Amino acid sequence: MAEEIKVGDRVEVCLTPGFWKAEGWFAGVVVRIDPYSAYRSFIWVQLDESFDALQGKDRLISVLNPKNIRKV
C-alpha cells in the first residue's frame, strides 16, 4: 500500500475464490477504518452495486491485508 487510504477514498479490493463466487478486483468506497495494531487497520469498504448483483451478499466488507486493497 504505497499511498495512505482514508475514509471516502475510492479503492479496489482483491477478492479470491473460496468464500467469494468471483475473483478479481472490485471497486468501492472506504466507509470506516478501525485500528487493529500499530501497523495495520481493518479498512471497511462499501463495494459498488454491481458486486451485490454478482454475489447476492452484503456489499460491506473489511480488508486487513494491505496487498488486497489499492486506491483508484
Residue 64 located in a structural domain: yes
- Which residues does residue 49 pair with via DSSP β-bridges, in sequence order? none
Farthest CA pair distance, the chain: 36
DSSP conformational letter for 57: S
Residues of the chain with confidence (pLDDT) below 70: 1-2, 51-57
Residue 33 located in a structural domain: yes
Residue 65 located in a structural domain: yes
Residue 18 located in a structural domain: yes
User: For residue 43, which of 19, 71, 23, 16 has the smallest C-alpha distance?
Assistant: 71
**Residue 11 pLDDT:** 97
**Residue 28 pLDDT:** 94
Residue 21 located in a structural domain: yes
Whole-prediction pTM value? 0.83
Q: Which residue has the cell 483508484?
A: 72
Residue 4 located in a structural domain: no
User: For residue 34, which of 5, 67, 71 has the smallest C-alpha distance?
Assistant: 5
Residue 40 located in a structural domain: yes
Residue 3 located in a structural domain: no
